[in-house]
Amino acid sequence: MPLPEVSQFIPHIAYDSVVFGFSKGKLKILLMEYHDTGWFALPGGFVERSENLEDAVKRGLNERTGLKEIYLEQFHTFGDTSRYRPEVMRRILEANGHLIPENYWMLDRFFSIAYYALIDYEKVTLMPDALSDSIAWYEIDKLPDLILDHGKIVQKALQTLRENLDRKLIGGNLLPERFTMNELQAVYEAILGQKLRRTSFQRKMLSLDILDRHEKLFTGKSHKAPYLYSFKTH
């Protein structure tokens, strides 16, 4: 695969995405591991010359997860000069066997527009890109070191997600269509990083009038079966 040409993309502009998923009671994000470097990074990419910014992000996420409809939110643009570390991208490209031209555009200073995405963990089919060995889930509190300022980007994403959780009622995007109240509470607890009172949480969620109640879920466990809920589509 040849090196991307600057004629196709807007120089100096990139996006990075913090893709949140929820599984086994843990909040997780997607990380790429680059060939032969041991380096981890957020899934990101560039914007084509005639492409809307948000379409570029969706395109990139679709290529890596197979998902078409994704809950996406822009949260910050990172533009410090300290991000300019051409030797990092050089090493990544060289580790892929590329010969890098003089003044190659991908080694320039980049501004990164960061988005977070909330997706249903079970619906994802992970596909690495050309530069990466792998793309995989990592627990949010067991992340490896990340290149450049990607660690800071993750922290800012998590902070914004926490602030938006109640205001935008977005927790459900991390669950399948139908879920139990207990599962929803576990999502909230994982995002906020703290336990919530079961009865208060249930009362609050029901009083918001955003949930539909469906049939009971019989798990085979020896106790009362919980109802399944879904978010109202209105």
Q: Which residues of the shown chain bind a copy of itself in the complex (CB under 8 A)?
A: 10-13, 47, 49-54, 74, 76-77, 79-81, 109, 111, 113, 163, 167
CB of 204 to DNA, least distance (A): 6
> Which of DNA, a copy of itself, none is residue 200 near (CB under 5 to 8 Å by kind)?
DNA
* Cα angle 132, 114, 194; round to 5: 95
The residue (of 127 and 206) whose beta carbon lies closer to DNA is 206
Tokens 């290149």, residue?
147
**Among residue numbers 167 through 226, which ones bind DNA (CB under 7 A)?**
180-182, 197-200, 202-204, 206-207, 216, 218-226
Q: Of the candidates 42, 198, 61, 62, which has an alpha carbon nearest to the alpha carbon of residue 112?
A: 42
| Other CB atoms within 10 A of residue 127 CB | 12
> Which of a copy of itself, DNA, none is residue 24 near (CB under 5 to 8 Å by kind)?
none
**Among residue numbers 102 through 121, which ones bind DNA (CB under 7 A)?**
none
8 Å CB contact between 157 and 58: no
Both structure tokens of 59: 């395109």
Q: Of the candidates 41, 21, 24, 20, which has an alpha carbon nearest to the alpha carbon of residue 32?
A: 41
- Give contact residues for DNA (rule: CB under 7 A): 180-182, 197-200, 202-204, 206-207, 216, 218-227
